Structure 1
Amino acid sequence: MRPTPRAHELAPLIDEVLGAVRTVLLEPTAFAPADLERVFRLSMSDYSELILLPPLIEALHEQAPSVQIEVLSTAAFQPQHALETGRIDLLIGNQDVGAGVYQQELFVDEFVCVVSATHPAIKRRLTLNQYLKQSHVLFAPQGRGDRLLDEALRKQRVERRVALRLPHIQSIPHILHRTPHIVTIPAKFAATMDRAGLRPLTPPVDLPSLQVMQYWHQAVHQDPAHRWLRHLVHEIAQRLHDGPGPGS
């Protein structure tokens, strides 16, 4: 038998109701993070991992030492399906998700350009001509590039000369130290790099803000442990609100 259209329509609501029932049956007592023994699977990009994971693990060590975290790459699967099937508990980033998925803003970041402090042509101010003339390093996980940044540049008819595409961001500081290349990255990520020998600069073009969200499936919306974890992640993210901006 195949589910009817009405059954498909009701499926998200049924999932949420069943989740609430499981919560009542399986969590009859007050929730205590210190007593929690559970593995949470989080999916996030390198950027989100660098920004959020260290303070999150620190908080878990203090509040729920028996909790385990498994981090999975956002490029490893289709986010919507992974949330629906429980393959991941929480998705952190900026993704297109469908019905049955809740979302919450964690923080907003701005883009900043970074070059070597000994760059032969670029000093304290980056002009549009310099931005177009120099070679760029592009962070391109799974070869996709940065969709948000690329779309903004395309609308302004600005085309970067890309010399290197990288699936990971950890090697970027080392490359900038050895070349006159430019990289355009979120400011909070730039702040995590070893600033010695590097110079952050305000981009010479108008770029959008980067909104970082957390996503979870409605089946776990009422789960006390999951709700506690979401609150903890959001609390940590809020501390980043007053973090460094472009050129800082």
Structure 2
Amino acid sequence: MKINKELAIPLYQQVKDYLHKKIISGEWAAGYQLPAEKDLATQFGVSTITIKRAVLELVDEGLLYRQSGKGTFVMHIEEKDISKFVTLKNEEWEAQHHPHKTLYFNIVQADDELAALLRIEEGDLMYQIQRLKIQQDQPVALEYSYIPQELFPDLHQEDIDDNLLYNIFQRGYGVQLDKAKIYFSTVLADEYQAESLNVERGVQLFVFERFTFNNDNHIIEYSKFIIKQDQSKYFLEIKL
């Protein structure tokens, strides 16, 4: 592949994007050894310095790793189901243990922004919850949840420890869930997010925003999930 030197995109970024596609698509499987940097430079028609920068950025992002005296290899990328992070309804998961560390639980008045998101009146009481989702004793996601108090008047912090909100809604209050609407975006980790998720400040994180509706088409919960990428490839499987 030759690089288009007339594009405004930096040469190293074009190389990086090409290598990234090879890895994410699975064409280069875990353990695959990349050609030597001088060979890649010849292939792309660029300098070895350009190749080195592209490769090092992919190493920093956890997609490649280097072994002294041996070369550069593709890192194992674990596949993770997106729906497990945003807790889509699944009977099998309802019976499982779901480790969460509650960082904040309080009842506050909804400001104008959150009132609009939840379709309630400004000043109405709501639960403001912040939790850390744990997998294999490691933090994987920050979860911010906002729930109208009127719908769940007796909710306490001990109810949500190591439990799914959906379990509480259905089992504790008999709420019939109808649908969830989810928005996807990314964010660069700020100091607090980096410290909570054990990542470097400024790394890219996934953001999932979830609105849950009951059978009356009322929003019963709004949650934002800040998820670290690690060496993972996320998927969403839908049964047709």
Give the strand-richer structure, 1 or 2.
2
- Relative contact order higher in (CA < 8 Å, ≥ 6 apart): 1
Q: Which has the larger radius of gyration?
A: 2
- TM-score higher than 0.5: no
Normalized per residue, the structure richer in helix is 1
Taking structure 1 as the reference length, what is the TM-score of the superposition?
0.25
